[in-house]
Structure formats: C-alpha cells, structure tokens
A = this chain, B = another copy of it.
Amino acid sequence: MPRMTAPVRQEPLVMQLCEQFRGLIDDGTWPIGSRIPGENQLASELGVSRGTVREALRALSMAGLLEPRVGDGTYVRARDELAAILTRDQRGDDLRHTLDVRSVLETAAAIRAARQRTEEDIRDLRRALADRAAADAAEDVDAYVEADAAFHRTLMRACGNPLLLRLYDAVNESMVASIRRTTSLPEDPQTGGVHAALADAVEAGDADRARACAAELFREVEFLSAVSGEPS
C-alpha cells in the first residue's frame, strides 16, 4: 500500500459556498441592503458552475438572509437566520407578543447579569449609558436608538448565556423597524433614570433590584406601546 489517500469526507461545494457567503454577510463585506455580485460573476470568480452558486444562494434566500429580484440582482436582507425566520413568520398582532418575549428575556438576563457580571461588562454598560444620555440631549434619534440598543445588548451579553443573547438578538431584530418608527425625543426623564438604576443594580450584584428595574422598564415601554399603537 503506497499511500492512503485522504479519508476526509469533504463537504459538498454548495455547503462550502454557503458558509463562505454567510461569512461575507456576517462580517459586513456584504452589508445589509446591498446588492451582491451576480450569479455568473460569482461562478466565474469562484471557479464553479452557475448552478452550484445558485443552489447556495437559494439556500440563503430561503433562510431569509438574501432576497433575489428577477431582472435586478440579489440583495442582502438580514444577518441572523433566527431573526429572518421570526420576521418571515410574523403575523399581524405579533408586536405585543414580541415585546413581551423581549421583556422576558431581558428580565432574566438582568438577574443573571447581576450575579456574574465582569468589570468589563460594567464598563461597557456605563459607556452605553453615557452615549444614550448624550444622544438624548442632542436629540439625535439614530444615535439614541443605537446607544439604547447597545445598552440592552450589553446587558444580555453580561448574563453569560449565549443562547439567551442569541434569542434576544433574533427577537430584537425582528422588531427593530417598529422601534425606530415609534421613537421620539426627548425621552421621558424617568426612563433614563430606570436605565441608570438597572446598571447600578447590576454593578452592585443586586439581582432582585435588577429584576425590578428591568420589569419597570418594560412596564413603561408596554404602556407607551399600548397608548400609541392601539387604534381600536
């Protein structure tokens, strides 16, 4: 026996392409909303047939990450698979349910973050809080929404459960549009205070107070949503 050939079970080309494309979407090389190169171009550049490229692109399209438009091209639609699925299956009055789930996840994260946050978590939390206040003062809606999202996501990261963070990202992304639409500045003065109190509770390791703050935060949000979003 001269030499054993590699017994490796190499993944099909289509799967490799999928991974590669997914990576390009995830690292921002193909930003959300942008048009990716055409199928023929991708095929010739990658040295594979158009059919293979199409299968990979179709898979990502069905997953909700891409959106092909006949006669135009293929565009990037989302970065996270879970979010894409939730967005696609979203029905009419789901916004309240989505918000409810978000509050569940974030309240749970607040408790866990208070118990095991690191110094780095605290620092990130403080910075996001400062950015948030600055954007509020400047009445910069985009910056405010971004800083607010960063604050909440930092909290989710600090809870130490990656699955919880993943679900939160998915749920959150599926309602990001309505968040931006319903945001108006300046914010209720009390809201900023509750955010700060939540950060304090997490820093102090006070799980009960962290939970109470998170619940209070969402009681306000729910109230605002009920007032502005219920035409009946």
User: Size range of the interface on A?
Assistant: 20 to 34
Question: This chain: how many copies in the complex?
Answer: 2
Enumerate the 4 nearest inter-chain pairs by beta-carbon distance, A residue then B residue, closest first.
A59-B62, A104-B108, A55-B58, A97-B163
User: A105 an interface residue at 8 Å Cβ cutoff?
Assistant: yes
Residues in B neighbouring A85, C-beta threshold 8 A = 81-82, 85
Given A82-B85, A97-B162, A101-B164, 13 other A-B contacts at CB below 8 A? A18-B62, A58-B58, A59-B59, A60-B62, A62-B62, A94-B163, A98-B163, A100-B112, A100-B161, A100-B164, A101-B161, A104-B104, A104-B105
In the complex, A162 Cα to B101 Cα: how many Å? 10
Q: Least Cβ distance of A160 to chain B in Å?
A: 8
Residues in B neighbouring A162, C-beta threshold 8 A = 94, 97
Residues in B neighbouring A51, C-beta threshold 8 A = 51, 54
Are B58 and A97 in contact, CB atoms less than 8 angstroms apart? no
Are A97 and B164 in contact, CB atoms less than 8 angstroms apart? yes
Please list 20 pairs of residues, one from A and one from B, whose beta carbons are closer than 8 Å in the complex, sorted by A's number: A14-B58, A15-B62, A58-B58, A62-B62, A63-B63, A81-B85, A82-B82, A82-B85, A86-B163, A97-B162, A97-B163, A98-B163, A100-B112, A100-B164, A101-B163, A101-B164, A101-B167, A104-B105, A104-B108, A163-B171
Which residues of A does B touch, CB under 8 Å? 14-15, 18, 51, 54-56, 58-63, 81-82, 85-86, 94, 97-98, 100-101, 104-105, 108, 112, 161-164, 167, 171
Main secondary structure of the interface of A (DSSP, over half): helix
Q: Least Cβ distance of A58 to chain B in Å?
A: 4
Residues in B neighbouring A167, C-beta threshold 8 A = 101, 167
- Nearest neighbor of A70 in chain B, beta-carbon distance: B12
Q: Least Cβ distance of A167 to chain B in Å?
A: 6
Residues in B neighbouring A164, C-beta threshold 8 A = 97, 100-101, 104
- Nearest neighbor of A160 in chain B, beta-carbon distance: B97
- Nearest neighbor of A85 in chain B, beta-carbon distance: B81
In the complex, A144 Cα to B115 Cα: how many Å? 35
Residues in B neighbouring A104, C-beta threshold 8 A = 104-105, 108, 164
A18, A54, A163 — most chain B CB neighbours (10 Å): A163
